[in-house]
Amino acid sequence: MADSTIALAGDAIITRRLVDRDDRTEALLDRIRDADAGFVNLEVLLHDYEGYANAESGGTYMRAPPWAADELAAAGFDVFAAANNHVGDYSHGGMEATMRALEERDIPYAGLGRTLGQAREPAYADTTGGRVGVVATCSSITAGSEAGQQRPDMPGRPGLSPLSLSTRYEVPDETLERVETLAEDLGLEDLKRDREAQGFRVPGEDDEGFTFLNVGDGGHVNFVEADEHAVVQEPSEEDAEAVLDGIRAADRQSDLVVASLHAHEGTGGSGNDDTIPAWMETFARDCVDAGADCFVGHGPHVLRGMEVYEGAPVFYSLGNFMMENETVTRLPAEIYDRYDLDPIEALPADLFDERVLDEDGERIGFLSDSAFWETVVPVCRFDEDGFVRAELHPAELGYEHSRAGRGYPRLADAETGERILEELADLSAPYGTEIEVEDGVGVVS
């Protein structure tokens, strides 16, 4: 393919106008607009409350007016990933409204569809630098948000392209014996036998090891004997292969292929941190082997390390491009109940005070961690031989500002930018990645 550039961004939690907000914001957006193509993860639903709020959300309820898509397009983004844990926040009506809003604006999006087949399809954007294909999936899946497969006699179901994870708990023999004894003493093994006798499938019957029924939520926990205690997650082979098939298709139909994964998971069952589980490394490299020219991770709200694998840049997480969840205008009653607030009289501002301020009014949780408010925007250059270099533009989202003044990106000042790049270099060092700094911009080649 001809010489071309693509700008990449992480999670866009957008609820307010972005363009013409700040000179430093415009300076950052100009870097994106100057690229031949721009990619971002859309982590809000676009609707005017046509859909009903789901009883279960992706943590909170993400929604923005449909014009938010116009703001991101004006910022220089040509194609969106739309598979994330907030897809089901407003049930299927919210999904359908989001798809309509994007389609009315001719904005290509990947990872969300009216059926499973559509959700897994690549999205394509024709740009000045060639045709860009995007395949998007999500491993942090809120129950019921996966798309459903079409049948000749039944319609499919709107939802996201899933990369389902199974979790096993590795434990030494003596621990496993205690778990098995506990299950017998609680009568859970009798429940299994009763279900079998009634002809029902017993949860976990096809799993390796011992399955402990979790009666409270109807699920189960899988324990496997091992030398050490460990929490191990693995993606579904069927889901992974479907995503890789989409990448192979996009590779035949476009000049540049972006593989996108929304994943909050870290190592050992952790989440929303800078650790990278082994399964994610394997999956990202499989995506490159299948034909992806770059891999973009997002979801944990912080930067993770990057590597260059087989001549392709792999960004395990680009963190937050925007973080405007504090300025949502409406939230459903369920989330107020979770924080013991009046579901009728409370306001969104009350909820955020409850969740992120201590009794002295000091910020706590993710708001108190500057890592949630810092990112890089890579601009990757390719030529006919493949990847040439990535320029990493450090940005910050107003960590020290008031609620009204934070959440949208600005080109970082020299001191902040230097620190962001140093921290990213430390995170990337295990992969042998070297980040040089040229005029305040990180460079990887």
Residue 363 within a domain: no
- Mean pLDDT check: name the lowest of 4-18, 221-235, 352-366, 371-385: 352-366
Closest CA to 80 of 114, 50, 45, 48: 45
- Residues 6 or more apart whose CB falls under 8 angstroms from that of 56 comprise 88, 142, 143, 144
Q: What is the pLDDT of residue 158?
A: 98
- Residue 314 lies inside a defined structural domain of this protein: yes
Which of 17, 151, 145 shows the shortest CA–CA distance to 75?
Answer: 17
Amino acid (one-letter) located at 71 = E
Tokens of 441: 């911009």
Which of 380, 285, 354 minimizes the C-alpha distance to 36?
380
Give yes or no: residues 133 and 24 share one domain. Answer: yes
Residues 218 and 143 in one domain: no
Tens digit of each residue's pLDDT (9 = 90 or more) over 173-195: 999 999 999 999 999 888 888 88
**Residue 403 CB contacts under 8 Å (≥ 6 apart), including other chains:** 326, 327, 349, 352
pLDDT digits (tens, 9 = 90+) for 202-247: 877 777 889 888 766 667 888 999 999 999 999 999 999 999 999 9
For residue 253, how many other CB atoms are within 10 A of its CB? Answer: 12
Would you state the torsion angle of the CA atoms of residues 304, 308, 312, 316, taken in this order, to the nearest 10 degrees?
A: -10
Q: Above 80 in pLDDT, residue 286?
A: yes
Whether residues 199 and 70 fall in one domain: no
Asked whether the predicted pLDDT for residue 357 surpasses 90, the reply is: no
Residue 290 shares a structural domain with residue 391: yes
CATH of residue 279's domain is 3.60.21.10
- Structurally, the chain folds into a number of domains equal to 2
Asked if 71 and 180 sit in the same domain, the reply is: no
pLDDT tens readout for residues 131-154 = 999 999 999 999 999 999 999 999
84 in a structural domain: yes
What sign does the dihedral 76-79-83-86 (CA atoms) show?
A: positive
Looking at the structure, tell me whether residues 56 and 178 fall in a common domain.
Answer: no
Asked whether residue 316 is domain-assigned, the answer is yes
Residue 421 lies in a domain: yes
Co-location of 67 and 207 in the same domain: no
Q: Is residue 358 part of a domain?
A: no
The residue segments making up the domain with residue 209 are 173-225
286 within a domain of the structure (yes/no): yes
- CA dihedral for 275, 281, 283, 287, sign (positive or negative): positive
**Does residue 92 contact residue 158 with C-beta atoms inside 8 Å?**
yes
What's phi and psi for 266, nearest 5 deg? -115, -155
Residue 257 falls inside a structural domain: yes
